Amino acid sequence: MMRPNGSEPGRERRGSGGWADVLAHEQHLVAPGSEWRSALWAVASEQFNSAADRLDLDPQVRVRLLDPRRALTVNFPVRRDNGDIEIFTGYRVQHTLAIGPTKGGIRYAPGVSLGECAALALWMTIKCALLGLPFGGAKGGVRCDPTRLSPAELERLTRRYTSEIFPIIGPDRDIPAPDMATGEREMAWFMDTYSQQVGHGVPESVTGKPVVLGGTAGRQAATGLGVVFSLETLVERLGWRLAGQRVAIQGFGNVGAVVAGELSRRGASIVALADVAGGIVAPNGLDIDAVHAWVAEHRFLRGFPGAEPKTQNGVLEVPCDILIPAALEAQITAENAPRLQCRLVVEAANGPTTPEADRILTDRRINVLPDVLANAGGVTVSYLEWVQDQQKYFWDADEVAQRMRGQVLEALDRVLTLADERGVTWRMAAQMVAIQRFAEAARLRAVYP
Ligand code: NAD
């Protein structure tokens, strides 16, 4: 039976309180749920929906879990160095409020939008739930080109953005962290601005801070180490030996350089590396200490003696056992996926594989360890920073790494076990484990009032 507003009982989407009638007359209105529309949201919600299908999630629960719970858009003025006033637009999206405060980075980039933040916030919910962290996901940012802003302008922008979103953030509400074009410096400004507003220092209001302001030991290497911890255990479960595996890595920054060094120390052979300026290949393995020294002196990998040059994307296609994209999103595409010559892909970067490429890799039986699991060491150590700040008691880098390792390996075990039981990919299993967790939290909290 259809209801007067056109929705079927039990299958209604949000806004069944007469929305269909309103929309019929007001064509200019955005349909409920379309506020979040963006290319990234389409990918994130498709992943969510296919995992929700497998879990047979009730449609009413599903729509309650998928759309972000809270979003704030702010337009605010910033004084440029030449005295001009420029208006910037910023966002903060909090995806799930069912489990503790929300957590997620802040990015400065020209493409930042409500829809992009919504997708990234949903992925943060998935990552936190998968790792068993007591957070929902969030994401925020300011639409700007950070390369055309001076340090003084960036400081004014960061401080004003912090004050604008102040009503919805805080150590028990929503805890920001660095993302694209933000780092320790911006987090220090952020923490200071928040603290000025409340009248005392609140280091736990943000993570990714400098250590002297309450940042954690071991944060810098955390994401790369997390990749290596999960890979070590995964390889063992597959019955392979890590020593002797041939590894190709795209990206030699915070994440890629740590992964290359740690894997090489464990006996793996790094046969190809790439950065933004180009790639290098050595089928018998690169000397990673020598590569570090070369990059310290020459900035880029190109020209490294004894290695064959390759393009940035060419390294994705070299023969190897394990391919680790650790640079940008959308690097493994429908175009190059048929040519990959690896046995396993480990997504150290966020979103490096497009959905079409993912299907090709599944058909080719190349397993993919998904980003939400492979690079979750970073958010786990952010959580440990927040914990240390709350208790005003700090651990050394070893203790931080061991605690993170335990949490990452537990998540890995759950994902591999569920994937085996249900015959699904690791990406699907990771989504299912996470969605089950926050769906249960939302169910138990029920509906208020
Ligand atoms: P980074 O800026 O330190 O390093 C990026 C590296 O990629 C650099 O070596 C750069 O030269 C290289 N690169 C850029 N464009 C390239 C291209 N077209 N081809 C080949 N190489 C290219 O960044 P990062 O912190 O190492 O982050 C890398 C990835 O890991 C990103 O996707 C990021 O979202 C993800 N990630 C990072 C963290 C973290 O804690 N840093 C946490 C989770 C996920």
The response to whether residue 353 sits with its C-beta less than 6 Å from ligand 1 reads no
Q: Which two tokens stand for residue 141?
A: 């940012």
- Beta bridge pairs of residue 324: 249
Cα distance between residue 440 and residue 18, in whole Å: 29
The response to whether residue 428 sits with its C-beta less than 6 Å from ligand 1 reads no
Q: Over its length of 449 residues, how does the chain's per-residue pLDDT go in tens digits?
A: 333 333 444 444 555 556 666 666 666 667 778 899 999 999 899 999 999 999 999 888 888 899 999 999 999 999 999 999 999 999 999 999 999 999 999 999 999 999 999 999 999 999 999 999 999 999 999 999 999 999 999 999 999 999 999 999 999 999 999 998 999 999 999 999 999 999 999 999 999 999 999 999 999 999 999 999 999 999 999 999 999 999 999 999 999 999 999 999 999 999 999 999 999 999 999 999 999 999 999 999 999 999 999 999 999 999 999 999 999 989 999 999 999 999 999 999 999 999 999 999 999 999 999 999 999 999 999 999 999 999 999 999 999 999 999 999 999 999 999 999 999 999 999 999 999 999 999 999 999 99
The rounded Å distance from CA 352 to ligand 1 centre is 10
Supply the residue whose CA is at minimum distance from atom 35 of ligand 1: 349
Residue showing tokens 């936190």: 128
- pLDDT (0 to 100) of residue 20: 66
Q: Which residues contact 330 (CB under 8 A, 6 or more apart)?
A: 351, 352, 353, 354
- pLDDT (0 to 100) of residue 3: 38
Q: Which atom of ligand 1 is nearest to the CA of 179?
A: 34
Pocket test for ligand 1, best of 182, 255, 310 (most atoms within 8 A of CB): 255
The response to whether residue 251 sits with its C-beta less than 6 Å from ligand 1 reads yes
- pLDDT (0 to 100) of residue 32: 74
Cβ atoms of residues 320 and 247 within 8 Å: yes
Summarised one tens digit per residue, pLDDT across range 134-189 is 999 999 999 999 999 999 999 999 999 999 999 999 999 999 999 989 999 999 99
- Beta bridge pairs of residue 275: 278
Q: Which residues contact 191 (CB under 8 A, 6 or more apart)?
A: 201, 202, 203, 205, 206, 209, 213, 214
Torsion sign across C-alpha atoms 209, 211, 212, 215: positive
Dihedral in degrees, nearest 10, Cα atoms 210, 216, 221, 226: -140
Same fold flag, 36-213 and 222-374? yes
**DSSP code per residue over 214-282:** TPPTTHHHHHHHHHHHHHHHHHHHTT--STT-EEEEE--SHHHHHHHHHHHHTT-EEEEEEETTEEEE-
- pLDDT (0 to 100) of residue 23: 63
Q: Compute how many other C-beta atoms are within 10 angstroms of the C-beta atom of residue 154.
A: 20
Cα distance between residue 122 and residue 387, in whole Å: 23
Global confidence as pTM: 0.92
Backbone angles phi, psi at 266, to 5 degrees: -90, 10
Q: Among 103, 139, 209, 310, which one carries the catalytic annotation?
A: 139
CATH 3.40.50.10860 fits 36-213, yes or no: yes
The response to whether residue 252 sits with its C-beta less than 6 Å from ligand 1 reads yes
Pocket test for ligand 1, best of 328, 329, 347, 372 (most atoms within 8 A of CB): 328
Q: Which atom of ligand 1 is nearest to the CA of 352?
A: 32
The rounded Å distance from CA 348 to ligand 1 centre is 9
The response to whether residue 276 sits with its C-beta less than 6 Å from ligand 1 reads yes
The rounded Å distance from CA 255 to ligand 1 centre is 7
Backbone angles phi, psi at 330, to 5 degrees: 55, 45
The rounded Å distance from CA 325 to ligand 1 centre is 9
Is 139 a known active-site residue? yes
> Which sequence spans correspond to the domains of the chain?
36-213, 222-374
- Beta bridge pairs of residue 315: none
Pocket test for ligand 1, best of 107, 275, 302 (most atoms within 8 A of CB): 275
- pLDDT (0 to 100) of residue 30: 74
Cα distance between residue 138 and residue 126, in whole Å: 11
The response to whether residue 349 sits with its C-beta less than 6 Å from ligand 1 reads yes
Q: Which atom of ligand 1 is nearest to the CA of 327?
A: 7
Q: Compute how many other C-beta atoms are within 10 angstroms of the C-beta atom of residue 174.
A: 25
Cα distance between residue 241 and residue 105, in whole Å: 36
DSSP letter (8 states) at residue 6: S
The DSSP element (H or E) to which 187 belongs, if any, is: helix 184-198
300 HSE (CA, 13 A, CB side): 12
The response to whether residue 328 sits with its C-beta less than 6 Å from ligand 1 reads yes
Q: Which atom of ligand 1 is nearest to the CA of 329?
A: 32
- pLDDT (0 to 100) of residue 319: 98
Q: Is 372 exposed, middle or buried (0-12, 13-18, 19+ CB in 10 A)?
A: buried
Supply the residue whose CA is at minimum distance from atom 4 of ligand 1: 253
The rounded Å distance from CA 9 to ligand 1 centre is 47
Supply the residue whose CA is at minimum distance from atom 1 of ligand 1: 253
Q: Which two tokens stand for residue 288?
A: 């990673």
Q: Which atom of ligand 1 is nearest to the CA of 328?
A: 32
DSSP letter (8 states) at residue 30: P
- pLDDT (0 to 100) of residue 5: 38
Cα distance between residue 187 and residue 209, in whole Å: 5
| CATH topology assigned to domain 222-374 | Rossmann fold (3.40.50)
Total count of residues recorded for the chain: 449
The response to whether residue 325 sits with its C-beta less than 6 Å from ligand 1 reads no
The response to whether residue 311 sits with its C-beta less than 6 Å from ligand 1 reads no
Q: Which residues contact 271 (CB under 8 A, 6 or more apart)?
A: 246, 247, 248, 281, 282, 283, 284, 285, 286, 318, 319, 320
Strand order in the sheet with 70-79: 70-79, 85-94, 136-143, 102-109, 174-178
- pLDDT (0 to 100) of residue 14: 54
Cα distance between residue 21 and residue 56, in whole Å: 30
The rounded Å distance from CA 324 to ligand 1 centre is 11
Q: Compute how many other C-beta atoms are within 10 angstroms of the C-beta atom of residue 117.
A: 31
**DSSP code per residue over 44-58:** HHHHHHHHHHHHT--
Q: How far is CA 242 from CA 201, 231, 237, 267, 344, in A?
A: 45, 8, 11, 7, 12
Cβ atoms of residues 124 and 104 within 8 Å: yes
The rounded Å distance from CA 251 to ligand 1 centre is 6
